[in-house]
Structure 1
Amino acid sequence: MGFAARKAESSENWRTLFYDFLDKRLDKIEREYPMEDLGEISKAVFQERSEILGQMILGLIKRKFGHLLNQQNCDCPDCGKSMQRHDKLSRTIQTLAGQFELERPYFYCRACSFGNYPLDEALGLSRSSKQYDIQDVEAWLSSETAYETASETYERITGVKLSEHHMHEATNTIGQEVGILDICPSKEEIHKKIENISKNKFRRPIMMLALDGAHGPMRPEPSPHRRKEKRGKGEWKEIKGFRLYLIDGTSINHLISWHQVCEDHELAQDLVKIKEAGLIPEAEIRLGIIGDGAHWIWNRCKEIFPSAKEILDYYHCSEYVHGVGNAHYGKETRESRQWCEATLTRIHFGDHEDVLGGLGKMKAQTQEVQDKIDKFYTYLTNHCEKMHYDTTKRGGYHIGSGAIESANKFISHTRLKRSGAWWYAQNANNMLKIRCAKYNGTYDKIIEKYKKDDQERIKNKKSRKSLRLVK
């Protein structure tokens, strides 16, 4: 019998086995389930769906990889010696489509003390019974809602139970090795967006780098050897982040968001990485940096982007103005409103010296009011070069930091600031990475990277085990 004939016979055999299984399962559905209306019929099929589709997947594996299911000999990947098949061993395989038991041949090299399942490698199986498509959905759901709710949602959608613990572990495993460049679109994608916005325009497009900090509820990390020890007292830590986007007329074209519980020098290192990767092509754009009065923003950005246009958030400046006006003239009084409007107008048009002169002439009635005046005086002195709002707006730049504020809410607050939630910083950062990838449109990219890296780890672990045993 030729190869084509054997292949046709193998194909017909798996189909026959699947049809026999399906016929028996339909008998079971008719016998055991009440089917008085469409809802009950749908429920009956849904509850049996996983095993039915699992058997279909198994049949297709037999069709495609039958030569590995029936393999008798193979060469050791380390020493090259021929290995004979031992018994077939079974493992449970769970996928989004269905669940089944896979019996595959096991090979063992005595010279290397190396055990191997060629079919597992050919199929790209995860070490867990829950395969990568399930882990993908676990991370997606868990990054949107609490682990408990994610677990319940998964069961309602698939009919299969997954514990909160497994949701937690899968999400952190995927997020822990993700770096900033992994969640970024490619250099080519960014340059393509810049090119599209630049068409038929005289001036280079504007790219805004908005930076801000938010606070999240963090717990101190437990010691490695005492995982069950009592949790320490929580505290609110700053989640530093930035958002890069292009201004296209009256709309913004999002590029990159990145948020982490970190120190300012760590965020600066991440900015350097994306700059060195060519994701901020300063020769092709006009770069504007916007933020509030936090020193870490301007100290770090000045080092990395010395030629960028610096813009102090107008609304942050406005808060200082209204704070002084309300304290000196009385809250919401006519005098306060008039002074605030006049002061903001002068600042808007760059008349900073007039504002400073007026502050110097104010006679505060209390020390508390004087402290507010002095604080605003220092604030204006330190940042006046970033407050030329009139020319900045006419140049096409944004003067408000609404873009990074919305990113803070969507990426950080929505998931991390849930009622009663406290996070270990590492787990919070893993979650933030996944949420940033989703917001940047690169979630599928990090999942593919995780699958590739995990397969490589599986191969390396086998090789290291073999080498250790030989020594």
Structure 2
Amino acid sequence: MNLTHNGRSEAVTRALSDFGSEDSFRHAAKRFAEHYKYEVHASTVSRVTKQVAEDALSYVEQTLAEASDASEHAPAFAEGVECMVVDLDGCEIRTAVFAPGGQAQDRTPVRQAPTQQKEIAWREVRIGFARPLESMSKTYVGKKASYPDVVSDLVQAAVLQGMAPTTQVIGVGDGGIGLKEELEKQFPTMQFVLDKPHLKDHLYETAEAVGLSQQERVAWVKTRLDAICAGDVGTVKAELEETYANAPHDRVRRFLEYLTRFADAVDYDHFTKHGYPIGSGEVESAHKMIPQKRLKLPGACWHPDSINPMVALRIVRANEWWEDFWKGRIEEKLAA
């Protein structure tokens, strides 16, 4: 059966990594015993799942790279979908690494090894997807990486979904520093749409900062949000500049800079008329489904090097590449 010392058949490896990609390794071991009447230790599930996750990361990278290569060799006049939606957002995952003992506040003593401590940190994982405007079929990407790296993967995902040079791309996102700029850089036909709830939150924060009561804020925000939605960004900016000209307020100044930066991304009535999404609800759901469901379990900590492989394993599942992934693994082993 080509099994080596401490080795397992592909069927067992698949079952262990299947459970390990969905539940904590301890619960995955229990599920495996319930289904197959064979007990394994949680450490075994962890080791097997993380090994498969490394292969999943390579598989995702190769799949996206092949899409990019095919796009580069396609004719310039190749037809694609008319309009493509892309969305990108981040969430924090708790990480821990062992370090020598010390007095740093972010270090937690390790019970089994008092001379060592865990350095706890939160790392941002960015998840995105691409889908044709008229379809709900998505290709997901994600990793712990900078905007340029993740957006590059997002471009390849859009190609897989049918993006061509003439495709109108609608990018939805929050006000993260550098996000809009990087999307526009890598998607030449991009129309960025600022997440409307994000803008609304900024308006409420500004209303609170200038001293409006809770009751006054509702009407104040609604008036200005309605004007912005109708395309009257200039009117709102002029009104705020005039009202607070003699009493400069730092929060108002920062909101004006924010509104100036996104002036072409808040014409919500126009966007809605054309069927464009104006909120990031879809990618927030993707965060719950892909990284958070597995990597953000209560009390869970991950080594930083384990995050991208585990996210890739979850993406293989979310993109419905699971069967192809395992078929490729088996073919490689048979060829060897």
TM-score clears 0.5: yes
Q: Select 1:260's aligned residue among 143, 161, 164.
A: 143
Residue 359 (structure 1) aligned with residue 236 (structure 2): no
Q: CA deviation at 1:351?
A: 0.4
Q: Distance in 1 between matches of 2:253 and 2:271?
A: 27
CA distance in 2, matches of 1:207, 1:126: 48
AA aligned opposite 2:121: E
Q: Amino acid of the residue matched to residue 232 of structure 2? A: D
Q: Contact conserved, 2:86 with 2:170, CA < 8 A, in 1?
A: yes
Does residue 239 (structure 1) correspond to residue 116 (structure 2)? The answer is no
Asked if structure 2 preserves the Cα contact closer than 8 Å seen for 1:182 and 1:446, the reply is: no
What percentage of residue pairs aligned between the two structures are identical? 19
Aligned partner of 1:389 in structure 2 is 268
Alignment of 1:219 onto 2:96:
yes
Amino acid at match of 1:299: E
Q: How far did 1:283 drift?
A: 4.9
Residues 40-51 of structure 1 aligned to structure 2 (within 5 Å) = none
- TM-score between both structures, scaled by the size of structure 1: 0.60
Instruction: Supply the distance in 1 between the matched residues of 2:126 and 2:226 (Cα, whole angstroms).
Output: 31
Equivalent runs, 1:126-165 vs 2, <5 Å: 128-165=6-43
Equivalent position amino acid for 1:246 in 2:
P
Contact 1:126 1:455 survives alignment (8 Å): no
The Cα shift of 1:245 comes to 2.1
Contact 2:138 2:319 in 1 (8 A): yes
Deviations 1:234-278 (A, max 9, x none): 111110121112333xxx513211221112232133235446x65
Match of residue 323 from structure 1: 205
Deviation larger for 319-328 or 150-159:
319-328
Amino acid across the alignment from 1:210: D
Letter in 2 for 1:247: L
Distance in 2, matches of 1:331 and 1:430, equals: 48
C-alpha distance in 1 between matches for 2:146 and 2:136:
28
Runs of 5+ unmatched residues, structure 2? 68-79, 101-112
Q: What is the distance in 2 between the residues matched to 1:254 and 1:218?
A: 32
Instruction: State the AA in 1 paired with 2:92.
Output: H
Tell me how far apart the structure 2 counterparts of residues 267 and 374 of structure 1 sit (CA, whole Å): 31
Question: Could you give the per-residue CA deviations for residues 194-231 of structure 1, whole angstroms, max 9, x where no partner exists?
Answer: xxxxxxxxx965321001111110124779xxxx8834
Q: Structure 1 residues 172 and 156 mapped into 2: Cα distance closer, same or farther (>3 Å)?
A: same
Question: How many Å apart are 1:427 and its aligned residue?
Answer: 1.3
Look up the match of 2:309.
Answer: 430
Give the CA deviation at 1:399: 0.7
> Aligned pair in 2 of structure 1 residues 295, 160: CA closer, same or farther (>3 Å)?
same
After superposition, residues 296-311 of structure 1 pair within 5 angstroms as 296-311=178-193
**C-alpha distance in 1, partners of 2:164/2:20?**
37
Paired with 1:365 and 1:407, the residues of 2 have a C-alpha distance of: 46
Deviations 1:280-312 (A, max 9, x none): 423574321110111332222122111122111
Q: Which moved more, 1:255-264 or 1:324-333?
A: 324-333
Matched, 1:404 2:283: yes
- What 5-or-longer segments of structure 1 have no aligned partner? 1-118, 188-202, 460-471
In structure 2, do the counterparts of structure 1 residues 256 and 278 end up closer, same or farther at CA, with 3 Å as the change threshold?
Answer: closer
Q: 1:364 to 1:231 in 2, by over 3 A?
A: farther
Matched, 1:349 2:226: no
RMSD of the TM alignment (CA)? 2.9
Q: Deviations over 1:144-198 (max 9, x none)?
A: 11000000111011110111111111111111132435567x97xxxxxxxxxxx
1:436: Cα distance to partner? Answer: 1.1
Answer whether contact 1:212 1:240 (CA < 8 A) is retained: yes
Q: How far apart are residue 326 of structure 1 and its match? A: 2.6
- For residues 26-425 of structure 1, the aligned pairs below 5 Å read 120=2, 128-177=6-55, 178-179=57-58, 180-181=60-61, 205-220=82-97, 230-248=116-134, 253-274=136-157, 279-283=161-165, 285-333=167-215, 335-363=216-244, 370-425=249-304
TM-score if structure 2 supplies the norm length? Answer: 0.82
Partner of 2:326: 447
CA separation of 1:127 and 1:298: change in aligned 2, threshold 3 A = farther
**AA at the equivalent of 1:391:** H
Greater radius of gyration (CA): 1
- Deviation, 1:435, is 1.0
Greater relative CO, 1 or 2 (CA 8 Å, sep 6+): 2
* One-letter amino acid matched to 1:261: K
